[in-house]
Structure 1
Amino acid sequence: MQNEAKVNSTDFIQSLCGEYRKYNQIDPAYYERYQVKRGLRNADGTGVMAGVTQIGNVLGYYLQDGEKLPAPGKLIYRGIDVEDLVDGFVSENRFGFEETAYLLLFGALPTREQLTTFQQILSDNHTLPRMFTEDMIIKAPSPDVMNKLARSVLALYSYDDNPDDMALENQLRQAVQLVARVPVIVAHAFAVKRHYYDNESLYLHRPQPGLSVAENFLYSVRHDNQFTEQEAKLLDLCLVLHAEHGGGNNSAFACRVLSSSGTDIYSAIAAAVGSLKGPRHGGANKKVMEMFSYIKGEVKDWTDDDEVRACLTKLLKKEGGDKSGLIYGMGHAIYTISDPRAVLLKKFARQLAETKGMQEEFRLYEAVERLTPEMMHTVKGESKMVCANVDLFSGLVYQMMGIPQELYTPLFAVARIVGWCAHRIEEVYQPGNRIIRPAYKAVAPSRPFVPLDQR
């Protein structure tokens, strides 16, 4: 029944916040009492074993006599060290993302003929369904490209003549189409965002046959379609390094959770996109750039370590930046001594900084990388080893390439769509597949029902 007096919904919701806080406080002691592994992490920080995979592996420590000991980071794609993979195509002056996608999806490196055919299939599937951009992107512009990507991926279900068929052939068809189409969706969503929210002209570019994914992306997001070979090769490297990171990372696990229910691939991938948007996951590279904007404003002399230390202290004490107490781009759940992705990106970032005349800025990033472990120990008493992660240098690389910040996390998704699809298919076809359902301990006290008039 509708009340005669008009209710102010904002005031009502505000008043209910007090009610929520009153009845929804969980005693932190419960987590220890019931041995809850928050974040699905063991007490030593290692992940709870939730499955097995042949797709990717992340190594950052080793166990000796039950003790977790630091080790140089390794990222493995289908049994191949990613550093060897990168050395392979870089030494031959080739683009590597398509080859990496083939490896992750199908399980082995392609022959030259297989790679050529796969590249052609991706090119043939770049085109979005008829009127898709007009109906799904232009008619409902979004200020955030990731939200538009998630909605668009989900909408592809409606344009698929066979969306729910779980046959392997159909799943691989859908996966290849998603790998080909996601970069185009991101480029169009970004163009529409710029037009409707930034008052810029609307440019929608069609992918060009014969260009790599990296080349086509730069061609599509730039008004004049211009890019250099160095830019395209560096973006290609970024895509390779972001393509996969094991089944336990938040977005891949989200994809596997949904896939275990038997839902369609579009629903599973859309969930992964939503996960990646978070600042504790793929959104961290954008947070790195926001943090460095603050650091540059605080530190007058970028070569003065004491000034940098003082700024990092303010960040760690929640007195500066976004007041989260975090140094974005530093630390990782698995890597200890080094993140191999950061090591590779730093190498190429240094070269690009010399080309762009941004050596001073690059050295500031190095200073933060070098001083943060010391300051985390001094300010927070942290004893664990902390290294730079991929986000510290990926944002800088994108900045030097002139890629807007709104595209940093979407570019992550352009690459990670490969890993998500690989994990989705493995989850669906693994033997003895069961729906993922962890337990939660209920701690609410028993209460009687109170009639409405007596409350």
Structure 2
Amino acid sequence: MNTKMKKEYVIYKLSEEMKKATRIDNELFTKFDVKRGLRNEDGTGVLVGLTKVGNVVGYERVPGGGLKPIPGKLFYRGYDVEDIAHNMMKEKRFGFEEVAYLLLSGHLPNKEELSSFGELINDNMPLEQKTKMNIIELEGNNIMNILARSVLEMYRFDPDAESTTSDILMRQSVELISKFPTIIAYAYNMLRHATHGRSLHIRHPNENLSIAENFLYMLKKDFTKLDARTLDMLLVLQAEHGGGNNSTFTVRVVSSSRTDTYSAIAAGIGSLKGPLHGGANIQVVDMYHHLQENIKDWNSVEEIDTYFTRMLNKEVYDKSGLIYGIGHAVYTISDPRALLLKELARDLAREKGKELEFAFLELLEERAIEIFGRVKNNGKTVSSNVDFYSGFVYELIGLPQEIYTPLFAMARIVGWCAHRNEELNFEGKRIIRPAYKNVLDDVAYVPIKKR
């Protein structure tokens, strides 16, 4: 056996032994009342902390301990996001900066405060020259990894990187929110140049543009006002989603050790990168294109129902038994983000001449919910989630799939910072340290000569 084969055999043997060592019977979780994934038996999240940042509502408890599905609500600092979004849509103005100010400070800004905050954001958008050059020189096709590395790079240029005083935390928050759009735009243009041989464009942020406009300007220069307003709304809707979502909880867990801001945020990026969290909209887009190709009559309820039934029975598409974009851990009757995004998606489809595609997606949404209930027959109420329309919207704007998840991070950095700041500033701080029940019996040590 040559050296290469020997190494491969050792890895194979270890992996097979790992499979045995990591197997835990499901019955043991019930026996010891362990909340898998920090979820209760009814699917709700285990309460592990208190927050004043955001709130996600999808059900209410009824006498006897049961859950009653209700229309979904999302609150930022006590304000209903639907009220925030509809006001912005009515006035046709950009709102991500306003939401960022609200989540960071705890109150809505007046005109003067918002204007000063916008100037501060724009002042901090340009990158350090070394960071810019590192992005250009980085190889690889995953922009989330480049984003995480660039965040860690920011540590080098912060003279107070280890400080956790409130003023330093706020400065770091503003700088991260400001620089995420620039990092992502530059990283994609580098990827486009290296992978597809396209021209390399490095456009400096424009101080007269909003965050959404600046991102599109740095990414591809040409865009419509509705493109920018729709992207802005997506950022608004994804800026925060309570402390229990995986990436925000990750940021809070890491922050509770009192590590630096950049390490905590890089950990959040790593969490969001996972396909069970931030990558869901890509799965919805792929599924949508598959259905476009495999359903002959886009208006046929019968044909769509049949195909969805086969999908749920693991017979077609990726055979996962899932309809992507349907269902949520908290929302039941409706996801307020999906409802709001759907309004803008309809306008955008009209502008781009994609009304037929939008009508097809809308019918898919209706039938998926119906068929899910019919096939699963488990009494669970489900609705579409924000991912059902976000990927479609990104495509209409002309954004590549490589930046779908980074765009999620560009929005959620606001919530991450708000939760980190809360974690480090409230009284009675404790490192987050849950427990695991060991289910293996004690074993006597065997000397190596006797093994």
* Both proteins in one fold, TM over 0.5: yes
Is the Cα–Cα contact under 8 Å of residues 191 and 202 in structure 1 kept in the other structure? Answer: yes
Which of 289-298 and 116-125 deviates more?
289-298
- Contact conserved, 1:164 with 1:264, CA < 8 A, in 2? yes
- Which residue of structure 1 lines up, in the alignment, with residue 189 of structure 2? 191
Partner of 1:451: 447
What is the identity, as a one-letter code, of the residue corresponding to 1:98?
A: E
Question: Is the CA contact 1:141–1:189 (under 8 Å) kept in the aligned structure 2?
Answer: no
Residue number in structure 2 paired with 1:369: 365
TM-score, structure 2 normalization: 0.97
The gaps in structure 2 that reach 5 residues or longer are none
Residues 445, 303 of structure 1: CA spacing in aligned structure 2 closer, same or farther, 3 A cutoff? same
Q: Once structures 1 and 2 are overlaid, which stretch shifts more, 252-261 or 308-317?
A: 308-317
Q: Residue in 2 aligned with 1:133?
A: 132
The residue number in structure 1 matching 2:286 is 290
Q: Which of 42, 45, 60 pairs up with 2:43?
A: 45
> Which of the residues 36, 58, 61 maps onto 1:60?
58
SS at match of 2:269: helix
Deviates more, 1:383-392 or 1:351-360: 351-360
Work out whether residues 376 and 382 of structure 1, in 8 Å CA contact, stay in contact via their aligned partners in 2.
Answer: no
Secondary structure, aligned partner of 1:165: coil
Give the partner amino acid of 2:412. Answer: R
Q: 1:6 to 1:141 in 2, by over 3 A?
A: closer
The one-letter code matched in structure 1 to 2:284 is: V
Could you tell which deviates more after superposition, 94-103 or 303-312?
A: 303-312
Letter in 2 for 1:120: E
Over the aligned positions, Cα root-mean-square deviation in angstroms equals: 1.5
Native 8 Å contact 2:314 2:321 kept in 1: yes
For 2:111, the equivalent position in structure 1 comes to: 112
Give the C-alpha shift of residue 321 in structure 1.
2.6
- SS in structure 2 at match of 1:309: helix
CA displacement at 1:356 relative to structure 2: 1.5
SS of 1:74 mapped into structure 2: strand
Superposed counterparts of 1:5-16, under 5 Å:
5=3, 7-16=5-14
1:76 matched residue in structure 2? 75
Percent identical among aligned pairs is 50
Q: 2:318 aligned with 1:319, yes or no?
A: no
| Aligned equivalents of 2:143, 2:311: Cα separation in 1 | 28
The aligned amino acid for 1:232 is A
Aligned match of 1:204: 202
Q: How does 1:247-258 map to 2 (within 5 A)?
A: 247-258=243-254
> Which of structure 1's runs of 4+ aligned residues deviate more than 6 A?
none
In the TM superposition, what are the counterparts of 1:340-351 in structure 2 within 5 Å?
Answer: 340-351=336-347
State the one-letter code of the partner of 1:350: R
Q: 1:267 — aligned with what?
A: 263
| Cα distance in 1 between the residues matched to 2:279 and 2:166 | 32
Please list the CA deviations of residues 113-138 of structure 1 after superposition, one character each: whole Å capped at 9, or x if unmatched. 11110000001100111221212x12
Distance 2:11 2:312 in 1: 33
Which of the numbers 378, 383, 386 marks the counterpart of 1:387?
383
User: In the alignment, residue 239 of structure 1 is paired with which amino acid?
Assistant: L
- Look up the equivalent residue of 2:27 and give its one-letter code: A
Does the C-alpha gap of structure 1 residues 317 and 4 become closer, same or farther in structure 2, counting only changes over 3 Å? closer
The amino acid across from 1:244 in the alignment is E
Letter aligned with residue 388 of structure 2:
L
Q: Which residue of 2 aligns with 1:415?
A: 411
Aligned equivalent of 2:426:
430
* Partners of 1:150 and 1:274 within 8 A in 2: yes
Aligned pair in 2 of structure 1 residues 449, 219: CA closer, same or farther (>3 Å)?
same
* Superimposed CA distance per residue, residues 410-436 of structure 1 (whole angstroms, 9 cap, x where no aligned partner): 111111100000000000111101111
* Aligned partner of 2:163 among 162, 165, 184: 165
| Structure 2 match to 1:89 | 88
Contact map agreement 2:373 2:381 (CA 8 A) in 1 = no
Q: 1 CA distance for matches of 2:192 and 2:229?
A: 26
Q: For 2:374 and 2:89, locate their aligned partners in 1 and report how far apart those are by CA, in whole Å.
A: 41
Report the secondary structure of 1:131's partner residue.
helix
